[in-house]
Structure 1
Amino acid sequence: MKRQRADELALCMKKLAHPRRVYVRSGRLASTANGLNGVRAALADQVRALLQQLWKDWEQDATGLDGPASAQQVQEALEPLAADRAVELMSQLAAECLVWPGAGFMERSATDAVARRVAQLLGPGAHWWSNYDPELACYSSAVTPCTFDGLIAGTDGHRFTVLIQVGED
């Protein structure tokens, strides 16, 4: 049953991906992650792994020459989110371009359904984080070398998901 849920989680995340714009990663956290701070640090390591993957695509085009943020910088950028807000932001990042408002990648109704399923698979006790700043109503802590990035990450303490949208204007 656990393996089946992990496979479905990976499949759902792949549905939210878009080439060179929306990157996803999911899997199991390191078994050494314990306590909320340990889980958050392990999740930041997984975000960093995804950042290294997208850096291969964006190294020539990105504004920042230093490359992606370190795991420590990612951890510092992660702001907690309520599950319903995480689902909303994940769906929005998968569907709509941060750089060019009105330009889309997928139908919002499709991304809404998939993002809701991701949250169901992680369960009601999942913790969610983002680099979204609700006071500024924007993604304010850059974790990628790109001008624009939005990050949503969630975990139930054992499994995780990460979605990052990037872009340059």
Structure 2
Amino acid sequence: MEHSKQTQFGSSDKKDAGASSVVNGHCDGMVKRPAGGPSQPPAAESGSQRPVMESWREDRTRSVEDNEMSLPSLAAAYTTILRGLGEDPQRQGLLKTPWRAATAMQFFTKGYQEKIIADVLNDAIFDEDHDEMVIVKDIDMFSMCEHHLVPIFGRVSINSCSPSGG
């Protein structure tokens, strides 16, 4: 890694406690904090990411084969996270953790790939001629916080009123 990039993310000297670590040519993601300010992740290099709206519009289906092919890179990312937290990924209790975490993340995010109308609703959309409120209670809900990448679990209730205001 070039010296200029190392100094951009902080010194590699142990005496500088505020510096970030560089492992396998990658910074741990935290920029040295200016006095009184919070640490921020480094800005993405220009051209390294597609615009969010562009990627969102693409076909988002993910096959079993896609999951199998991406599992090693996801597991490697979790290994990096463990190292960044000061853990030893080779410790007995953590040996399979990166693979388990990667598999869990694929499971937690599998709903993002579903075609809602076809896969979930199964043609359950139909015309109804009554004018009363419909209430469905205690629906188990699972999602993922996109800001923290942690699962969200809960129960929701939904009511629907007819267009005529019933």
Which is higher, the Rg of structure 1 or of structure 2?
2
For the criterion TM > 0.5, the same-fold answer is: no
Q: TM-score, normalised by structure 2?
A: 0.28
Q: TM-score, normalised by structure 1?
A: 0.28
Give the helix-richer structure, 1 or 2: 1
